[in-house]
Amino acid sequence: MAGSVAFVTGAARGLGREITLALAASGHRLYLVDILADRLDATAAELRDAGHEVVARVADISSRQGCVDAVSDCVAQFGELAVLVNCAAVMRMEHFADVSEDDWNRIVAVNLSGPFFLTQAALPHLIAAEGNIVNVASSNGLMGTPYTGPYSATKAALINLTKTLAMEYVEEPIRVNAVCPGPMATEIASALVPPPTIKREKIVRYSGQRGLGDAADVAKVVAFLASDAAAGVHGAIWTADLGTSAG
């Protein structure tokens, strides 16, 4: 897949940024999407300065049209699309009973509807390129995680969507896989503000015994799954959570 075009959402910072660096190191040309214009421009400039071919687009993937337009622009810019990495996500920590309709709708729109509609738009191009999809799910989608109801629900759905796509398109020259990180030392994680009334012992149970993960390590897993070295991997859900979901 070296030299092929990789489309990455949530590319401005955190895990998304690390994924772009890992894919660039693998030789991909990059189409980067995020809503954080300044941070996205900084990531794109860093990659260009290092000699990589990059197009950055500020876009909100929570709308179907936003997804369709971004994919169309990627193909117009590069002439192809071979790898789709659905990384953008929204996470909040709240008591289940306190989740507002707006919060629920926003988290579902970004975390689940975005990957769904991006995949719909990208599939013809991915099949033509004999490419692949890597969905960034979460260990929260594999286990019960209190105070993250909407986020965990979307990640569980993304895991099953990955498997369903893998089976529906099993006869096509395309691979679909997912990576499940655990808690990581990113800006998004540090910005989480749990309600003061939560029971912290419930959080500790799914926080892992090896501390916070390194986003760069997870990005290497994503880059591997996007590469020809993972040609035999299809419909797989790879955990990269330092054992958090193992038991």
- Residue 207 token pair: 């926080």
Please indicate, yes or no, if residue 159 is contained in any of the structural domains.
yes
**Which residues does the chain have with pLDDT short of 70?**
1-2, 189-190, 208
**Closest by CA position to 111, among listed 240, 9, 245:** 9
Q: Is 245 inside a domain boundary?
A: no
Is residue 246, in this structure, part of any structural domain at all?
no
* Sequential DSSP letters for 80-93: ---EEEE-------
Q: How many whole angstroms separate alpha carbon 58 and alpha carbon 76?
A: 16
pLDDT given at position 166: 98
2 token code pair: 């070296």
pTM of the model: 0.94
The CATH number of whichever domain residue 47 belongs to comes to: 3.40.50.720
- pLDDT value at residue 186: 77
Q: Which residues are catalytic?
A: 151
Residue 201 placed within a domain: yes
Domain count, the chain: 1
**Amino acid in position 130:** E
| 75 domain residue, yes or no | yes
Tell me which residue of 1, 89, 6, 90 sits closest to 47, measured CA to CA.
6
Query: What tens digit of pLDDT does each residue of 172-224 get?
Result: 999 999 999 998 877 776 677 777 888 777 777 777 677 778 999 999 999 99
Please classify residue 73 by burial: count the beta carbons closer than 10 Å to its beta carbon, then call 0-12 exposed, 13-18 middle and 19+ buried. middle
CA distance 211 to 163: 29
User: So what's the pLDDT on residue 197?
Assistant: 84
**Could you give phi then psi for residue 54, rounded to 5 degrees?**
-140, 135
54-65 pLDDT tens trace: 999 999 999 999
Q: Which among 123, 240, 223, 122 is positioned nearest to 180, based on CA atoms? A: 240
> Residue 79 sits in which domain range?
5-240
pLDDT score of 244: 84
Alpha-carbon dihedral sign for residues 46, 114, 143, 205: positive
What are the residues facing 229 on neighbouring strands? none
- Does residue 81 contact residue 30 with C-beta atoms inside 8 Å? no
Strand 54-58 and strand 29-34: the pairing is: parallel
Residue 247 lies in a domain: no
